[in-house]
Structure 1
Amino acid sequence: MTLTDNAQVIVDTAIASTAPHELEVGKYYAFTLPGGGLHKVDLTGPDHTGKLARKTGTTTVRDAESFLAYWTKHHDDNSEVYADNERLTVTAVLDANAADQPRFGSHRLHLALRETTAWKQWTKWSGELMRQEDFAEFLEDHLPELLEPSAADMLEIAQSFQAAQKVDFQSVSRLNSGQRQFQYVETVQSKAGQKGQLTVPETFVIGLVPFEGSEGYRLTARLRYRIGQDGLRLGFKLDRPDEIRSQAFADVVKAIGEQIDTAVMNGSPA
């Protein structure tokens, strides 16, 4: 037997003769195995200690009410809140650094507002011209958002445009009431040459909710039109929708700020 073999026998004998003892929960152990190799035992996890790991991750919500519900459950005195006016987001760092103690900053709450379908449709068509039948259908599909004139009056206008499909629009005049009057001549064979007119408000007021879960806002839409070789084209132009959108976000931030004891900072966390 060589000297090396004798040494290994001594090591193996020492390991075999070692009395077993209980390992302490919450610690990490490493053992050298007979014949070489390393065996690791990790007793630091929640399965052994009974203590859950620290809170991590980012929870995303879609309205101020959900933000406040999560905030109330998980924040502490050192949590921070940031509002980003450009991205239209509000982010809370729930485990932000304390004054005298660094923390991980990895448990976050993120409010990402989502535009409503109605808002997206109205802003999509703002400034665009449609065929008169498409314009009429758009009004019919959005009667709930029409405030002034009433939805019933706007429905009547939409139906009038749908009924006046086979006409030749020739001129437009502005009435003292602020309405636009469209003059046309019938082109249907049985009524060819008969003249008529349609009166449409130059402006109308709509009510829109910019973000899911936010308040509603009034916007003015101004009538747009063009008479060309392809007939009458109609549309609308919303007055300052970007300002309304920014105001809606500011109101969401204000609603959050009024319900928490932490200052809402303008910007975004590191």
Structure 2
Amino acid sequence: MTYSTPLEATFEGKADGTQAIIDIAQAAVAPQALEPGKVHVVALGRGQFQQIDLTGPQHTGVPARKSGTTVVRDVDSFLAYFDKHGDESTEVYADVESRTITAVLDAHTAAAARWGGHRLELRLRATSAWRAWIGADNALMSQGAFAEFIEDNLVDLVEPDSATMLELAQSFEATTSAEFQSSQRLDSGQRRFSYTEDVQAKAGAKGDIVIPATLTLALRPFEGCEAYRVTARFRYRLDRQKGALTLGFKIERPEDTLSAAFEDIRTLVDDGTPEEIAVLNGAPARI
């Protein structure tokens, strides 16, 4: 048998001489570095290839997209982050049940789907003053405990003013050992409690304490919001057998105050975002 070239003789006996030529040529190629940010196809020999994807952030050092939920506590922080990352297709949802406002910064456009994974949430947090008054709402306390509570929260009182309520608190503290015998509702709506002191220094001394029918408070339900006028009605229980008086208050419709505060915050967000972006009533789709 004769061969037209030496190369043909080299591959005598191989099932596929052409494939062998390709294998030798591939082996002779010098290794080359693969460029990050691209998808490469590498020949492994004998007709086999491998795809190598170097587009991920671990190769490029750049995240593929914005993602995650940022939580803020007030409207100013919400609008600052929104201005930096939002666009004309961003969607904003106000959830009255959870009292949160959420912006989906990469929401779907009218023409194309987007990831919807970059979000901003205004998660309102109750103030310490609101928690204190709500925590003691509708609970009867001893004279001493009630006096201490009033003294600790004088700054929230509007009517009666703090000076009047401080004097009342001090009266309750001074009569913790007295026996309260009767109560009388006055024409003004106030209530007068009559007591008798039975201590060695003031044996048989008698006196009265008058408490208002209601308290008017100025409370901020959420951090970063304005104060709202809140009405609380005095409550009491007089145990005539023991001469013991317990006191408390009942806040009128606190849920209405929370709803009003949330609606005002929603309005501030609506006014601070672009006109074409409406604040929707509800919650965004889960991801």
TM-score higher than 0.5 here?
A: yes
Residue number in structure 2 paired with 1:263: 278
Q: Distance in 2 between matches of 1:123 and 1:32?
A: 71
Residue number in structure 1 paired with 2:262: 249
SS at match of 2:122: strand
1:141 aligns with 2:152: yes
Which residues of 2 match residues 97-246 of structure 1 at below 5 A?
Answer: 97-228=108-239, 229=242, 231-246=244-259
Corresponding residue pairs, total: 267
1:106-156: per-residue Cα shift (whole Å, max 9, x none)? 111111101111101101111110001000000000011011111111001
Q: Unaligned regions of 5+ residues in structure 2, if any?
A: 1-12
Question: For residues 50 and 189 of structure 1, do their structure 2 counterparts lie closer, same or farther at Cα, with a shift above 3 Å needed?
Answer: closer
* Amino acid across the alignment from 1:224: R
1:242-261: per-residue Cα shift (whole Å, max 9, x none)? 10011101110011101112
Displacement after TM superposition at 1:39 (Å): 7.0
Which residues of 2 match residues 75-114 of structure 1 at below 5 A?
Answer: 75-114=86-125
Identity of aligned residues (%): 51
Q: Distance in 2 between matches of 1:217 and 1:38?
A: 71
* Amino acid across the alignment from 1:199: V
Q: Which moved more, 1:134-143 or 1:50-59?
A: 50-59
* Amino acid across the alignment from 1:107: H
Q: Distance in 1 between matches of 2:243 and 2:121?
A: 49
Displacement after TM superposition at 1:47 (Å): 6.7
Q: Distance in 2 between matches of 1:148 and 1:199?
A: 15
Displacement after TM superposition at 1:40 (Å): 6.3
Displacement after TM superposition at 1:11 (Å): 7.5
CA contact (8 A) 2:181 2:243 kept: no
1:18 aligns with 2:32: no
Q: Distance in 2 between matches of 1:175 and 1:78?
A: 62
Displacement after TM superposition at 1:189 (Å): 2.5
TM-score by length of 1: 0.89
Q: Which moved more, 1:81-90 or 1:192-201?
A: 192-201
SS at match of 2:151: helix
Which residues of 2 match residues 39-50 of structure 1 at below 5 A?
Answer: 41-46=52-57
Question: For residues 25 and 189 of structure 1, do their structure 2 counterparts lie closer, same or farther at Cα, with a shift above 3 Å needed?
Answer: closer
Displacement after TM superposition at 1:203 (Å): 0.8
* Amino acid across the alignment from 1:259: G
Displacement after TM superposition at 1:54 (Å): 1.3
CA contact (8 A) 2:156 2:218 kept: yes
TM-score by length of 2: 0.84
Q: Distance in 2 between matches of 1:181 and 1:146?
A: 21
1:20-51: per-residue Cα shift (whole Å, max 9, x none)? 5564553223546589x997643313576575
1:59 aligns with 2:74: no
CA contact (8 A) 2:180 2:243 kept: no
Q: Distance in 1 between matches of 2:72 and 2:214?
A: 37
Q: Distance in 2 between matches of 1:219 and 1:162?
A: 26
SS at match of 2:204: coil
Displacement after TM superposition at 1:178 (Å): 2.1
Displacement after TM superposition at 1:191 (Å): 2.1
